[in-house]
Structure formats: structure tokens, C-alpha cells
Amino acid sequence: MIDIHVHILPGFDDGAADTQMAIKMAEMAVTNGIHHIIATPHIIHKVSEHTCDEIKTAAAQLNMLLAQENIPLKIYPGAEYYLEPDLTARAAAGELQTLNNSQYLLVELPAAQVPPYTEQILYELQIQGLKPIIAHPERNNGFISNPKLLSELTNRGNICQITTGSVVGIFGQRVKKTALHFLRQGWGHLIASDAHSNHKRTPQLLSAAGEIKKIGGEKLSQTLLFDNPSSIIDGKPIQPLASIKTSKSFFHFTNLKLQ
Ligand SMILES: [Fe+2]
């Protein structure tokens, strides 16, 4: 399996504190059936700033270490960008580390709200040929209180990543309920762990499978946990979801293509 959102680069952010913890996270990932991870350190002005070169170098160093330790896991470069007004300019300057150097860019909104400039920035990123992936919208208070905002963004071709822990309830019932609602609406395109350590928010995907199957059966589980993460790491188009109905007996996929 492929986990496209993991804070595993040692000492980069509030994820793996050191190499020892990164190794423990890697071992845990493999135990959970994950053999490919995109490392996505937070990139936030004046809080957590890292260049593409720094990320690539750290990913390569971690890969060497994993090989020495005989851990069958490969790390790919990525990042999780805080939605800041100058993100478009930084994209134009070639400063952004996309997911495994693909067109996919992982973007995190402030947890408390959906800033008024969100739609415009995501649109401008798309104009530049990027495909924004909104990280864990189910944990954003703006989307929780007004899901229509997310509906509008997904209608405009933005992709949403739902977090494993949200689906199984580690962030509370409100977030779990929201995550399941977004999935029923077809607004969640893939699952990732957003793991930060080996003990609290950990690298795992399959624990979400039970709840997802209740919504859309094996087909949805396969798409969210396997097919779409695989397409992202390969830089291929993901399988779009356009379910409208919330009934468990009615869940369908359309042939609509995301741009
Ligand atoms: Fe994250």
C-alpha cells in the first residue's frame, strides 16, 4: 500500500523527532502493509521552512538507512503546504515540492476556518498545471460547519484526502461523523494516515477499511485505499468520485474526469 501523507523525515517538523522514531514509524508502516510513503513535512512561513533540495536529500538519506536496516519501505519526496497567500507566486518560482515530483500538491488549510482566498489560490495553482489535494478537510471547522464550501471546491476539480484516524474516531465523534459524511458525498478521493509518530498518529490505512466498506463496499475501499494513492505517486489521473446519494444501497462512480 501507499501512504501519501506522512511526517516521517526526522527533525523536520512535529513528526518524527529523530532517526530512531523515523525507523520505528517505518517498521510500523510495513507491519500495516505500507511499502511506499511520501514524506510530507509541514511547510509554513517562519514555522517550518524547508526547500525542495532539503526534502529530497533527507528522503534519500532515510532510504539509505531503511536499506541498511532491511526495512522494505521506500520514501518519496513531498510536502504539506500551509495555504498562504503567496503560494501561487512560490509555485510560479518553482519553489514547491509536489508529491513525488508529480503535479499533485498537498495543501493544508488553517484548522479553524476556510480563508476567503482559498478558492482563488487553489484555482491559480490549477492554472499553473498543479492538482491541489486538500489535506484532511474533515478536521477543518469551516468545512465542518459549512460542508457546501467543500462541495464547491471539489466541483472545481480539487481533490480531498481524508485521514485514517478521522474515519476511526481518534479525533472525536464530530470529526468522524464529518469524515463519513464527506465520503458518502463522494468528496473524499483517497485515504492517508497523516502519521506524526509511532505511538499516537501512526502510519496505517487499513483500519479505515471497515467504515469505508459500509459506505461504498469493496469498490470504494479499493479506490480510496489502493487505486488513488497509487495514481498519485505515479502522477496519473485519479479515479473521480461523484456519488450524490447517501443511501448505503446506492453508491456509484461516474465517468466524469477530473481536470
Ligand atoms: Fe500532515
Query: Tell me: the pLDDT tens digits for 55-112?
Result: 999 999 999 999 999 999 999 999 999 999 999 999 999 999 999 999 999 999 999 9
Q: How far does the centroid of ligand 1 lie from the alpha carbon of residue 218, in Å?
A: 27
pTM of this structure: 0.92
Q: Is the separation of the CB atoms in 96 and 79 below 8 Å? A: yes
pLDDT of residue 239: 85
Beta bridge partner(s), residue 41: none
Strand-pair category, 104-108 with 80-82 = parallel
Domain ranges of the chain: 2-234
Q: How far does the centroid of ligand 1 lie from the alpha carbon of residue 109, in Å?
A: 11
Q: Is the separation of the CB atoms in 161 and 189 below 8 Å? A: yes
Q: How far does the centroid of ligand 1 lie from the alpha carbon of residue 255, in Å?
A: 30
Residue 258's pLDDT band, with cuts at 50, 70 and 90, is very low
- Fold for 2-234, please state it: TIM Barrel (3.20.20)
Strand-pair category, 131-135 with 80-82 = unpaired
pLDDT of residue 253: 40
Rounded to 5 degrees, φ, ψ at 241 are: -120, 135
Q: How far does the centroid of ligand 1 lie from the alpha carbon of residue 155, in Å?
A: 23
Alpha-carbon distance of 239 to 233, in angstroms, equals 13
**Burial category of 103 from C-beta neighbours within 10 Å (exposed 0-12, middle 13-18, buried 19 and up):** middle
Instruction: Examine the pLDDT at 246 and tell me if it is beyond 80.
Output: no
Instruction: Examine the pLDDT at 200 and tell me if it is beyond 90.
Output: no
Q: How far does the centroid of ligand 1 lie from the alpha carbon of residue 193, in Å?
A: 8
